[in-house]
Structure formats: C-alpha cells, structure tokens
Amino acid sequence: MLELLVSGFAAIFTDPLAISMVFLGVMVGIIFGALPGLTTVAGLSMFLPVTYVMVSHVGLSMLTAIYIGGTSGGLISAILLNMPGTPASIATTFDGAPMAKKGEAGKALGIAVFASLVGTLVGVGVMIFASPVLARLTLKFGPWEYFTVTFFALTLIASLTGKSVIKGLLSALFGMMFATIGLSPVDGTPRYTFGSLQLTSGFHLLVVLVGLYAIREVLLTASSKQEPIKVLKYKMKGLGFGLHDMAGNWINLIRSSLVGLGIGILPGIGGSTSNIIAYSVAKNSSKHPEKYGTGIPDGIIASEASNNGSIGGAMIPLLTLGIPGDGATAILLGGFMLHGMQPGPLLFQQNGDVVYSIFAAMVLGIIFMAVLMWSGMRMFVQVLKVPNHILIPLIVVLCSIGAYALGNRVFDMWGLLLFGFVGLMMAKFKIPAPPFILGFILEYQLELNLRRGLEYSNGNFWDVFTRPISGTFLALTILSMVVTIINNHKASVRELKEKKEGTA
C-alpha cells in the first residue's frame, strides 16, 4: 500500500499537467460553490467533457479537485452574502453572517477556511487508510453479500432523505424503472426498448445525473427571482485569524470533522446534512449554547469542518463498493466509468495506480484550496458579481456538449431534457432526488447479484439468511426501516399534538 501511495504522489506531484488541472479544478469548484444557486454538481457536469480526452488519473484528479473546491467555496457566500453557496454551507450562515455584520468578516472567512482545511484533511486521511482495507474485505463478497449491501444502501437512502419513507422508496423504485430500460443483466434481453436501437443501451448514467441535478438546478435558478447581490465588506490580513481565536474549539473542530466523515459514508446524505447535524452537536455540547447564532467562531468551525469531512467519507463507499455517497460522488462514479473503470472492490487491484494518484491529487487539492481561499479571496468575491443570465446559459451549453460527446448522438441530449423535466417535477412534488439516482445506479448490481446468487444456490433464496455478512446486512436493513418508521410515526404524532395544542 505504501509503495502505491508513494508512486501515486510521484505521479501527481511530478506531472505539471496534473498539478495545473488540480489547481484549475479547485478554482472552478470554489467559484461554483460560492455562487448561490449553483452547486458542485453543476461545476462537475460542466467540466466533465473537458476530462474526456485526458488520461484517467489527470481527468479524475481534476474532478475530485472540483469536488473539494465546491464544498469549501460555499463558505464565501454564506459569510459575505448571508446566502449558502451550496446546501453544505447552510449552517455557516448561522454564525458567519452575524460575524460579518459585526465587522469580523475577515476573521470569519479565515476561520472557515481553516476549519475546511482540517475537515477535508481528516476525511481524506481516513479515506486513504480505510479504503484499501475495506476494499480487501469486500473482495470476499459473493453475489449474496453484494446484493444485501446494495439493498441496504438503497433502503437507507430512501429512509434518510425526505420526510416520508414511502416517498423515498417510491423515488428509488422510480429510478430503478429507468435503469431497467436496455439490455438485462445475465442474459442481455432487451427490455422496454420499443424497437429503438438507441434505447437498447439504456440511458447513460451521466445523462441521468446531469439532467436530474445540473439541468434542473440551472432551470430552477433561471426561474427564481434574481435579487441584486450585496456583498458585505471585509478585510482579511494574513490568515484572517489568530490561534487565540481557536481557543476552546480544537475538540469541536475534530469532532465536527468526524461527524462529517461518518455522515458522508452513509449513502445519499453528504455535506448538506452533516453541517447541520455537526452544528447542533456543537451547540448541545457547548458551555455557552445561547451564544450560537450571534456570531461566534464555534458555529462556523462545526459547519465547515463537517461538510468538508464528508468529502472523504462519501468517497469511501464509492471507491470500495461503487456506491456514491452524494450527488457529486455520483458524477465521479460516472467519470470513473467513462475512463473505463468500475469503482468497487476490484478497483484497487485493477487500477490501484490511478486510485492512489487520485488520493495524492486530493491532498494537493486541499493545499490549493486553502492557499487559493486565503490569498485569492478578493477574486472569488468579484466572481459573486457575475450575473446569472450570462452564467446559466453557458452551463447548459457545456452540459449539452458533455451529453452529446458520450456517443456523438443527439439522443443523449434529449435524455438531458427528459431527466431535467423529471427532476423539476420531483422538486415540485417534493419527491427526494437522491434515492432516484441511487436506484438508477444500483439496479443493475442489485439484479445481477440477485440472479447470480440464485443461480449459485440453485434457486434457494434462504441462502441469503444463512451467510454471516449477507444476513447481517439484511438484519441492518430491517432494523433501519423499523427505526425510521417508528421515528416518522413519533414525529407525526408530535406534529398532530402540536396542532391540537395550537388550536386549543
């Protein structure tokens, strides 16, 4: 492992193209993260076609750099505009904006960048050392184990996103329906192709992802009210803060990074949830919880350390099992596949060199992120002023290139439009999108392993219960569903009671 890690670092740190692409990626990511309404996913979708012709380790390094930059960039608008640039920075606004209003914007920015740096380092550090170990463990998986892990991930995401478990499950099954279009696993029988040759290969993962996330995102931003942006004034000397500002916050910093890491590992809920959970954990364990929300560094540290900690967390299931942790890692999964690699246990064996190069690129990305944010804040603040009416059409054009270039066919562009529409409808009817994406991604694995498992066991499904790993995951699936249903029921009863008290 150490040998591969060293060669990975050598491959990135001695390659000027890789270094410049990581630099560019981080910069693009920060810009997309900072612009309210546009997220990391839009940035990744826009720059995906640029990586098509790059060698795999450079292209994927650039994408991961965008991911790092995008997660951190949200802090700029959260502090200076009181608007989270991405959902991962929602909790940063709670204390960041009040600090800026008190004239401490420079300090708030400096502390937020530092917390982002530590959070990302903790997450990526754990990822570097835990992923190969987990990958070795998953090598022992047979079809039943894969089937139950995938099933567990699907039910987990369906129950964790949104308020209704049923709607989450319906969303996952809806995604699975689209995934069954094309040739079936095992025997390659055409399904739902209606005689169309283009439908035989089904919808490409990237078409679904870019349509559902990026096209929907830009269309919603396009149709929302465009308020003139008022950037709060700030002064930032050096790092913007001193060590005394961190007093009493070191435990908060590490704990929040670990909260982010843990939540990032769970499928579907990355930085967008971890920042809020880490904020409330920090507040509940603070000696002065009443000060939270009034403009103290503690809140900023909790939010930024956790959302960045989720980066490494979300990468772990992606690399070891091929299960993406959030929208951005789902695009990364598409990026891996475009470069002829299938994330999962065999990735470390077959493409270990590329994986370790990506690890090195992530470390480099973290350094670039901190340096760029500390030294180039003025430039990023200027970018906030770029009007949406220039940016949004440009993103659509670049996303369209990405879709078209997948197979040089307009069919994939129609797919973008279709899934953009599906995404909009899901947003309108409050159906969570992450289960849909995971359902679409995992259907093939789920079906393939279920059918293989049944073939190996001569049609005996009960084998799944008798094997320790698959049995454990099935038990976890049932447990997570039961716990979620009970919690939802409790919340519903509580809501009814509150209404009753309100009317009394």
β-strand partners of 183:
190
Indicate the residue among 171 and 308 with the shorter CB distance to other proteins. 171
The helix-helix angle for 388-407 and 40-51 (nearest 10°) equals 40
Evaluate whether 112 touches 92 at the Cβ level (below 8 Å): yes
CB 457 to other proteins: min, Å: 8
Closest CA to 181 of 411, 344, 404: 411
Indicate the residue among 122 and 172 with the shorter CB distance to other proteins. 172
Indicate the residue among 177 and 231 with the shorter CB distance to other proteins. 177
Indicate the residue among 22 and 403 with the shorter CB distance to other proteins. 403
CB 297 to other proteins: min, Å: 30
CB 393 to other proteins: min, Å: 4
CB-based contacts of 79: which residues, under 8 Å, 6+ apart? 92, 93, 96, 97, 99, 100, 105, 108, 109, 112, 232, 234, 300
CB 102 to other proteins: min, Å: 30
Q: Where are the alpha helices (DSSP H) in 266-387?
A: 271-284, 297-321, 327-338, 347-350, 352-375, 377-383
Helix (H, G, I), strand (E, B) or coil at 500: helix
Residue with tokens 């000397």: 237
Indicate the residue among 113 and 426 with the shorter CB distance to other proteins. 426
Strands 190-191 and 182-183 come out as antiparallel
CB 316 to other proteins: min, Å: 28
Indicate the residue among 259 and 446 with the shorter CB distance to other proteins. 446
Q: What angle do CA 205, 50, 426 make, to 5 degrees?
A: 35
Indicate the residue among 145 and 245 with the shorter CB distance to other proteins. 145
CB 166 to other proteins: min, Å: 5
Closest CA to 386 of 38, 21, 101: 38
CB 202 to other proteins: min, Å: 13
Looking from the CA of 250 toward its CB, the CA atoms found within 13 Å total: 3
